[in-house]
Amino acid sequence: MNYEIKDCIDAGTEYCPCSLSETGDCILCSHLQGKDFCDCTNWKGVCIFQEYDWNNNKAKTLRKVSLSKIINKEILDENLVCFTILCTHKLVQELSIPGSFIFVRNPKSNGYFDSPISIMETLPEENLVKIVIELKGVKTKSINLLEENDNMAIKGPYWNGVLGLKNINKCKDGISLLIAGGIGMAPMIPVMRKLYSSGNKIVVVIDKSNYKNIYTKKYLEMCNADIIECTLLANSDLSIEAKEIIKQYENKVNLIYCSVTDILISKILEFSDDNVNFACCNNAKMCCGEGVCGACSIRYAGHIVKKMCKVQIDPRYIFKGRRLL
Ligand SMILES: Cc1cc2nc3c(=O)[nH]c(=O)nc-3n(C[C@H](O)[C@H](O)[C@H](O)COP(=O)(O)OP(=O)(O)OC[C@H]3O[C@@H](n4cnc5c(N)ncnc54)[C@H](O)[C@@H]3O)c2cc1C
Ligand code: FES
C-alpha cells in the first residue's frame, strides 16, 4: 500500500478532542471538520465526535504547567547539560514511549521561553525523567541558570517527537539501523530501547558532531549496539562514508531511523531504497504543542497545512509536495 496514512498523535488520549475540534479543524474526525458523514480512517477505539458530545461540545483541557524539582544536573560537554527531574508517577509513565517530549523553562521566565525537549530516559520506579539540553540561545541558556534542587517549569506529556512510530512498533526480531548526530543521540535512546526490547539487533551510526565523547555510550552498551562512528555531512551532501554504510545495510535491516537535521533526513531518504521502513525525529519548530499557535505548520501543494506537533506521518511524506512559499 503506497499512500499517505495521516494520524493524530493525541487521538484517543485524555487530551482529545482538542481545541481544533471547536473550530472544525480536527485532524481526523470528519464530523468535527464540519462534514455530515462519518469517515474515520484511523480508528483508535474511541469516537472523537462522541467524546466531544460527552464533553458538552467542548475541547478537553490543555496540558498544565507544573514545577518539578531538579534532582541532578550534570555537565556532559561544553554547552551540553543533562537534567534529572522528579515528576509525578503518571507523567513519568506517560513519557515512557519513543517520541515523548516536554516543554521546559526556567520558572522565572514567561511562557515564551518554553523549549520542546525530548525525554532521553524515564525511571518510573523513582519517578524521574532525564533530558539532555544543548545550550544554544536565550531559552536554553536561561534553563541552564537552574541548579540542583531548583524547580523547573515543565508542561507535558507530548508524544510527536518521532515521525513514523508505526514503522518502529512493527519491527521485531530483525536488524535495525539507527543514525544519529549531535543532540539527536538523546531522542534516539527511547527508540533504540523499544527496538531492542522487540528482539532487534541494533546497529548505530553516530556523528559526534562537536562533542568530545558519545554521551549516550552507556545506553548503547546496554542494548549491545554495534557502533559505527562516521561524519554524516560533507559538502552539503551525505558523506561517501555514510552512503557506503547505508548501502551495506539497507537490504538487511527492518528499519532506518534518523535522529539528525532535516537536510540530512531528506538526503538519507533520497539515497536509500524506497522500500526500507523509515522513521526520524521531528524537527519542527514548536511553541504550544497543542495545534494552536501554528509555529510548527508546514505547507504542502493543494493548500494543505500540517501541524507537526500533532500530525503523525510516515517520514517519506514530510518532504513530498512541501512548499517553501
Ligand atoms: C520535538 C522536539 C524535541 C527536541 N528535543 C531536544 C532535546 O532533547 N535537546 C535539545 O537540546 N534540543 C531539543 N530540541 C530543540 C530545542 O527545542 C531548541 O534547540 C531550543 O528551543 C532552542 O532554543 P534557544 O532559545 O536556546 O535557541 P535559539 O537561538 O532560539 O535557536 C537555536 C536553534 O533551535 C531552533 N529552535 C528555537 N526554538 C525552537 C522551538 N521552539 N522548537 C524547535 N526548535 C527551535 C532554532 O530554529 C535554531 O535552529 C527539540 C525540538 C523539538 C521540536
Ligand atoms: S506547536 Fe503550536 S501549533 Fe504546533
pLDDT category, 2, cuts 50, 70, 90? low
Beta bridge partners of 237: 234
Which protein residue has the closest C-alpha to ligand 1 atom 30? 137
Cβ neighbourhood burial of 149 (10 Å; 0-12, 13-18, 19+): exposed
- Angle, nearest 10°, between helix axes 240-249 and 262-271? 50
Backbone angles phi, psi at 68, to 5 degrees: -125, 140
Beta bridge partners of 82: 74, 132
Q: Give the closest ligand to the alpha carbon of residue 116.
A: 1
Q: How many CB atoms lie within 10 A of CB 29?
A: 24
9 lines ligand 2 (CB under 6 A): no
- In this prediction, residues 231-240 reach a mean pLDDT of 93
Atom from ligand 1 closest to the CA of residue 119? 8
Residue 323: predicted pLDDT: 72
Is 43 a residue whose pLDDT tops 90?
A: no
73-98 per-residue burial string, b: 16 or more CB within 10 A, e: under 16: beebeebbbbbbbbbeeebbebbbbb
Residue 237: predicted pLDDT: 92
Q: Give the closest ligand to the alpha carbon of residue 259.
A: 1
Ligand 1: residues with CB < 6 A are 101, 115-118, 131-134, 136-140, 161, 183, 186-187, 282, 284-287
pLDDT digits 0-9 by tens, 160-206: 999 999 999 999 999 999 999 999 999 999 999 999 999 999 999 99
Is 249 a residue whose pLDDT tops 90?
A: yes
Q: pTM of this prediction?
A: 0.96
Residue 325: predicted pLDDT: 60
Q: Are 130 and 141 in contact (CB under 8 A)?
A: no
Atom from ligand 2 closest to the CA of residue 292? 3
| CA 115 / ligand 1 centre spacing (Å) | 6
Distance (Å, whole) CA 129 – CA 35: 42
Which protein residue has the closest C-alpha to ligand 1 atom 44? 285
* Grid coordinates given for 253: 535491516
In whole angstroms, how far apart are CA 102 and each of 23, 26, 133, 267?
26, 23, 12, 28
Q: Give, in degrees to the nearest 5, the angle at Cα 117 between 120 and 230.
A: 60
* AA identity, residue 299: R
Owner of C-alpha cell 522528579: 86
| CA 105 / ligand 1 centre spacing (Å) | 12
Residue 309: predicted pLDDT: 97
Counting ligand 2 atoms within 8 A of each CB, the residue from 20, 163, 307 with the most, and so the one to mutate, is 307
The more confident residue out of 118 and 319 is 118
